[in-house]
A and B are shown apart, each in its own frame.
Chain A
C-alpha cells in the first residue's frame, strides 16, 4: 500500500445476510454486494411465517428491520445501514457521488424509492409469494398508480440522455433496479416497458457489470422461482 493508498477495512470473516427473496431491500443489498465484489452468505428469514417477529430475529434487529447483516461480531439491520456498510467494505470506490448537487439528486431518488417505490412493489409482489396473502385489486391498483407516477418522473429525468439516474451509477440505481426487477417478476413489466426512457435505463442496469470485477451484477437478484420457493442464493 503506497503512502497515499486507500486502505480498506477488512471484513471479520464471511458476511451473512438474512433476508427474503421477495423483499426489495434484501435485493438491494444483494445487488450492492455484487457491485462491490463482496461475497455474502445468505439465510432465509421467512416473513410469511412471522420470522421477522421471532425473538431470535428481534435480538439481531430490534425493530424487525429486514434484511440483517452479520460480519463477525458486528450486526446491523435495515437496507440504508447495510448498503452503506457494503459500499465501504467492498472492493471498489464508493457509489456516492462527490458533487453536492448530484449527491442531493441521488438521495432524492433513494428517498422516493423508500417512500413510494418499496411499499408499492411489496404490494404488487405479494400475490406471488406463497403465504403472503392477496392485497386485493384495489390495493394493487393504488400501488400501480403511485409507482407509475414516480416512474413518469424518472422517464422525464432520463430523457436528457443520462445513462443512470444521477448520471453516474449510484445508490439510486441500486434502489430502483431492485424495485423494477420485482415489478417485472410480479408480472408488472408494463410499468417499465410503457416508458421507453425507463425501459432504456433498466436495460442498462440489467447489462451492468461490476466496476470491481467486471461480472454481471443483475444475476445477484432473486429469480421468480426463488421468490416462489423462498430461496435466497448467496452473492458471489
Chain B
C-alpha cells in the first residue's frame, strides 16, 4: 500500500538539511503540514486559505479525484469514508474541511478567527452551513461538468442542463449573501470562517466560467474584490487568494503550498 503523504519534505528525514531541526530554527509548527486534496475541490481550497490566513506552512499534494483517487485503498486508509481533503502534521492526521480548519486555527498564528459574540458566531456558522450544504453541492456540480469531466475523458462534453440547474439552485443563496453584505465589510462584519468557505466556492465559480453570477450582484462583486486583496489574518505579508489555483492549474493537477517567511 502506498503512503500518499510521501511527498515534499516528508521524503527526507526530519533532521535533513533544510528541514526543521537541522538549523535549530524555532517555529510554532515543528513540522510542515501536508495537505492532500484536489485543486478543483472547494473543501481543499478552504484549507489552503485558512493555512495562509493563520500563517501555517503547508505542502500540497494532489489527490486526483477526477479519476476516483478518493475511493482508492491508499486514500481510504487515511480517510475511511473518502472525505477530502486530508491533512497530516507529524503523526497527527485529520480529514474534512471542518476538522482541518479548526485544527489549523488552533495551531496557527494571531487572534482567533471565530467571533466571540454569540450572535455573530451563530451568523458565521449559518453562512458556513449555507456554503457547505446549499452552495457547495451546486459548485461541485458545475466544476464537475465544466472542468473535471474532460480531465478523465477528452471526449466528454459538459451537460449544460446540469449546469443550468446548478446555476438556478445557486441563485437564492447568492441573492441572500448579496443582500447581507454591507459596503466595506465581510460577511459577518469582520473576516471570519464564513468568508473562507464562500471564497472557495466563489473562486471555483469564476474558474468554471460562471463569473456572471458574481458580477451581476454588486455587493457580492465588491466583497469578492476585497477578498482578492485581503492580507493574511495573522499579519503575514501574503494574500491567501493568490494561492488559489487557476483553471490551468486544476487541469494540470497543480496546487500551491503555503510558505511562511516572517516569524
Q: Is the CB of A101 within 8 A of B92?
A: yes
Closest to A152 in B: B80
Size category of the B interface is 35 or more
Q: Is the CB of A88 within 8 A of B173?
A: no
Q: Which residues of B contact A65 (CB under 8 A)?
A: 129, 133
Given A62-B176, A115-B81, A74 and B103 contact (CB-CB distance below 8 Å) = no
Q: How does the 8 Å CB contact mask read for B74-117 relative to A, with 1 for contact and 0 for none?
A: 00000011010000000010111111111111110000000001
Q: Is the CB of B123 within 8 A of A81?
A: yes
Number of A-B contacts (CB under 8 A): 102
Cα–Cα, bound, A76→B81 (Å):
30
Q: Which residues of B contact A89 (CB under 8 A)?
A: 118
Closest to A61 in B: B126
Q: Which residues of A contact B176 (CB under 8 A)?
A: 62-63
Q: Tell me, rounded to whole Å, the shortest Cβ–Cβ distance linking B228 to chain A.
A: 27
- Interface majority SS on B: helix, strand, loop or mixed? helix
Contact of B98 among A76, A79, A84, A110 (CB under 8 A): A110
A82 interfacial by beta-carbon distance below 8 Å:
yes
Q: Is the CB of B125 within 8 A of A111?
A: no
Q: Which residues of B contact A98 (CB under 8 A)?
A: 106
Given A85-B121, A116-B81, A153-B80, A111 and B98 contact (CB-CB distance below 8 Å) = yes
Q: Tell me, rounded to whole Å, the shortest Cβ–Cβ distance linking A147 to chain B.
A: 12
A226 interfacial by beta-carbon distance below 8 Å:
no
Q: Is the CB of B130 within 8 A of A107?
A: no
Given A63-B172, A81-B123, A81-B126, A104 and B94 contact (CB-CB distance below 8 Å) = yes
Q: Is the CB of A77 within 8 A of B107?
A: no
B202 interfacial by beta-carbon distance below 8 Å:
no
Interface residues of B (CB under 8 A from A): 80-81, 83, 92, 94-107, 117-119, 121-126, 128-130, 133-134, 172-173, 176
Q: List 12 A-B contacts (CB under 8 A).
A: A78-B130, A80-B126, A80-B129, A85-B122, A100-B106, A103-B106, A104-B92, A104-B103, A107-B96, A111-B97, A153-B80, A153-B81
Interface residues of A (CB under 8 A from B): 9, 62-63, 65, 74, 76-85, 88-89, 98-101, 103-108, 110-112, 115-116, 149-150, 153
